[in-house]
Amino acid sequence: MTMETAWEAGTLGSPKGPQRLLFGQMHEDAEIERTAFEGKSRVFCIASAGSTALKLAEEHEVIACDINPVQLAYAERRANGAATMTGDAEKAMSFARAFMPLIGWGPGTVRTFLMLSDTGEQMAFWREHLDTLRFRAGLDVLLSRTVLRTLYAPQFLSCLPTGFGAVIRKRLERGFANHANASNPYARALLLGESCNDRTARVRKPQFVLGDAATLLESCAARSFDGFTLSNILDGAQPSYRSRLARAVRRAATDDAIVVLRSFAEPPVQLAVNYAERDRSMLWGVVDLRSAHTF
Ligand SMILES: C[S@@+](CC[C@H](N)C(=O)[O-])C[C@H]1O[C@@H](n2cnc3c(N)ncnc32)[C@H](O)[C@@H]1O
């Protein structure tokens, strides 16, 4: 494949065939962006399922872009009040949840856990009822290269750390130790498959633009955005794309602009501050929030 980014194919697996709806909702905590962009005006956002763009549009002028036309049209429909749909990512998560009874995670146990709001109690419950030998072995198999390779193109897997099952367990524990389950919609989405988004037509809507983020930013006016939220678009992109995107972001950024970028990779040693712990969706290795001029 000669594509600069595997996301261009619009599929998570084989790049053959039509582009698909990959994300019915976002597994990124938009509170990070809401806080980071406070007082800022114009924001560039990856559309994905639209969740972050819709949230940010309440306070900012939002340009929401996506390389996948199916995904962009879906995000726009959601801005007009359409219901949440199931994307390929949610189908894969639902497949994984189907094994819960087999590892001894009964629906009652999971729901009781999700009602807790004291993080100390959550950790005690996690250790006693959920972080079992069967859970650990099952997650290791589900997140092994052998299984992931059957679902995802190799470009999406190259950023993943070895022993991904154990790494994800650590991230989950970090999440449960820091965020109250009872008020965490992302924990319910992950463990029960519930939608974390309401269904209302928005008064203030993002402007939806089809295209690749770097190309769009290269063509926009210099110093025209105060914030950028780029999802994890570099997980699956070539190194040359990373450099091009960084140049385009710096050119399009106002003096105080902030950029937020997520990754499933483990944090590099040179990352001074990592906001991954604050993200209630719990899955990220890196939530990099920094001045756009050091991006
Ligand atoms: C990177 S994916 C990840 C989804 C995300 N982690 C979530 O929880 O929803 C989000 C969206 O980025 C889009 N995308 C990926 N690379 C892009 C690029 N270079 N330019 C524009 N959109 C891109 C994909 O099509 C997808 O809809």
CB neighbourhood size of 107 (10 A): 10
CA of 203 to the centre of ligand 1 (A): 24
Which uninterrupted H or E stretch holds 207? strand 207-210
First-to-last alpha carbon distance for the chain, in angstroms, is 27
226-273 pLDDT, tens digit per residue, is 999 999 999 999 999 999 999 999 999 999 999 999 999 999 999 999
What per-residue confidence (pLDDT) applies to 1?
Answer: 42
* Nearest CA, atom 22, ligand 1: 66
Give the residue whose CA is nearest to atom 13 of ligand 1: 66
In the chain, domain spans: 6-87+205-294, 99-192
Question: To which H or E segment does residue 257 belong?
Answer: strand 253-263
Secondary element (H or E) of residue 290: strand 286-291
Ligand 1: residue of 11, 66, 216, 228 to mutate (most ligand atoms within 8 A of CB) is 66
- Decide: 9 in ligand 1 pocket, CB within 6 A: no
3-state secondary structure of 44: strand
Query: Which pLDDT score is estimated for 204?
Result: 87
Q: Alpha-carbon Rg of the chain, whole angstroms? A: 19
The pLDDT of residue 196 is above 80: no
- Residue 56 CB less than 6 A away from ligand 1: no
Spell 70-93 as b/e; 16+ CB within 10 A means b: bbbebbbebbeeeebeebbbbebb
Closest CA to 66 of 58, 77, 91: 77
How far is the centre of ligand 1, averaged over its atoms, from the C-alpha of 62 (Å)? 16
Helix (H, G, I), strand (E, B) or coil at 215: helix
**Cα dist. 10→3, 152, 205, 283 in Å?**
12, 12, 24, 22
The per-residue pLDDT for range 127-184, each reduced to its tens digit, is 999 999 999 999 999 999 999 999 999 999 999 999 999 999 999 999 999 999 999 9
Q: Which of 6-15, 40-49, 169-178, 252-261 has the lowest mean pLDDT?
A: 6-15
The predicted pLDDT at position 202 comes to 73
The tens digit of pLDDT for each residue in 247-258 reads 999 999 999 999
pLDDT at 197 over 70: no
Residue of minimum CA distance from atom 26 in ligand 1 = 48
- Could you give the angle at the alpha carbon of 75 between the alpha carbons of 70 and 81, nearest 5°? 130
Please give the distance, rounded to the nearest whole angstrom, from the Cα atom of residue 48 to the centre of ligand 1: 5
pLDDT at 45 over 50: yes
Atom of ligand 1 nearest to the CA of 26: 9
Residue 249 · residue 295 · CB < 8 Å: yes
Residue 3's pLDDT band (boundaries 50, 70, 90)? confident
Q: What percent of the chain has pLDDT over 90?
A: 94
Residue 67: count other Cβ atoms within 10 Å of its Cβ.
23
User: Quick check: 200 pLDDT over 70?
Assistant: no
Q: How far, in Å, CA of 14 to CA of 16, rounded?
A: 5
Q: What pLDDT does 52 receive?
A: 96
CATH hierarchy code of domain 6-87+205-294: 3.40.50.150
Distance 181 CA to ligand 1 centre (A): 27
Residues 203, 57: Cα–Cα separation, whole Å: 9
